[in-house]
Homo-oligomer: A and B are copies of this chain.
């Protein structure tokens, strides 16, 4: 039996989302035991409950016997509790996986840097809402059950991390981002104007000299600007890589969509089928 404890460090999901995910798990992955913390459904203002409640649920999951802490949804807010989580958990060994993406990247970064959990980028319960979302959920559940089919296909033998671009930008230079020297850094973004994406690449490439290279995931739901930017996302990524001497390593199969693949932080080989 693999135990999955679920909390929402940013914004909430609904009990209907949780019920759909639980039904899928029960039908197809009977060896998994899912435990949605009630904080997942807390809906007080912007966040899934105040900082103290979200931190409390995160630490309750982290300190339980769970094999995996699965983040229910991103949105915004995990950066507001990451310092406290680091303070509470630093020093323990990385038996547990922390699994999610988007805004939860703050927690994944800190877990990988401090080594108190094994960070993995991958689909979250909220993705059940997407078209084709059950495939995304199935990919995560399969991973928890030991399958490795959901891995991003081009990780090779190189250490990697995956981040939402603005989350990575906000982490750069802080005490929460691991040293990424020698890593492939995969980025994806949603709902940002291309000029803002260009600006974020300025920032992250200034910070990431020394990485093995950058790979570009999908940019989805790019809003129209008052005038066209004149360059697409891959040209933007290539341009800033070239300016800063960072190898551009091509596209990555990640994004805010149902096809979003799994990227374990570090070496994928360290996450062999258990």
Taking Cβ atoms with an 8 Å cutoff, the residues of A that contact B are 45-46, 76, 79-80, 83, 166, 169-170, 172-175, 195, 198-200, 202-203, 206-207, 225, 227-230, 243
Contacts and interface: CB of A to CB of B under 8 A. Distances in A.
B203 A46 contact: no
Contacts of A200: 170
18 contacts: A45-B227, A45-B228, A45-B229, A46-B195, A46-B225, A46-B229, A46-B230, A76-B195, A76-B198, A76-B199, A79-B202, A169-B170, A169-B203, A170-B199, A172-B172, A173-B206, A174-B203, A174-B206
A173 B46 contact: no
Contacts of A203: 169-170, 174
A124 B80 CA distance: 36
A4 to B, nearest CB: 28
A244 to B, nearest CB: 9
Contact of A175 (B83, B173, B206): B206
Q: 4 closest A-B pairs (Cβ-Cβ)?
A: A173-B173, A45-B230, A174-B206, A170-B203
